[in-house]
Structure 1
Amino acid sequence: MLTGAVRMSDSGHTRRRALGAGGVLVGLVTLGGCGLFGDDPEPAPAPDPLQPVLDEALALASAYDRVILTQQTLSARLTPLAQAHRAHATELAKVIGTTLPSGSAAPSAPGTADDTVAGLRKAELAAQKTAVAACKTAAAGRAALVGSIAAARATHAEALR
């Protein structure tokens, strides 16, 4: 049984020192591979489940704004609906913790008033389905907001009949 330091060569290194250094090296290599040293990038956060509802609120507000710009005869009928969608977008952005983009609606080629209103109604119904689906899976604190948005979209669709 050896209890004293055993010299491995004339360099002054002992077997214990060599084994200890080897153990440290193996440990560093192992830890380096598991991301302990921060070499792996953080995964991107998952998008908020209410983001599609927000995106549709912004899209609907823009669609109404485009129609209002190109068909002044529909302005009185559509302006309150556009304002409601902007209010929904503002509240959703607060809940999600994001900022709303700034920009204005670009005019689009005008169609007939009936065709335009029918297109808006179709968009409202599609967006209402998205809001209902989001409401079903939303946490209790968010469900009331999303439920009221779904109801508003259904009401808008009826107002566009």
Structure 2
Amino acid sequence: MKTKLKVIFLNLDLVLTSAVLTVLVGLTCISVFSRYIFFHPIVWLEEVQLWCMVWLVYLGAGAVYRNGGHIAIEILVESFPKKVQRIIAAAVNVLMVFILLFLMVQGGRLVGQMLNTGRATSYTKVPYALIYSAVPVGCFLMICNMLAELYQLWKGGSDEDTADRERGQDV
């Protein structure tokens, strides 16, 4: 039970992304039935779908990164020796951490601005600060994933077998 909770905690972004995706798909299906079968569209649904999409992108990005799902052109890097590959991977991760820190700070400023202005959505009156808080939260989760990979690289290299073991896959 303890290891199961640990796996859920380590994959919290994936769990939350799955929940948001489930809500998005469920509400969209309900909306289709409501509009085309009962001829009664749900007017507030577009706002909720927007929130779900924003949170889905920013929460899911960390999980996609951790599982190696982002697009990468590796042909040049793979032509170098393993040690150079690790150095390049570390340099890319450091650069990405700085970029994400900048985005996280700017996202936090946007959330602060939305709090100060008190802007809210039209139908549901949900504060935009809550919706846009996905940016700093998602960036923070991505930074955590990148720092964990940097630690693995520093500790002795994160080859495919190590990454597969961390995800719980058989090697």
Q: Same fold (TM over 0.5)?
A: no
Q: TM-score range by the shorter chain?
A: 0.3 to 0.5
Bigger relative contact order (CA 8 A; separation at least 6): 2
- TM (norm. structure 1) is 0.36
Larger radius of gyration: 1
- TM (norm. structure 2) is 0.34
Higher helix share: 2
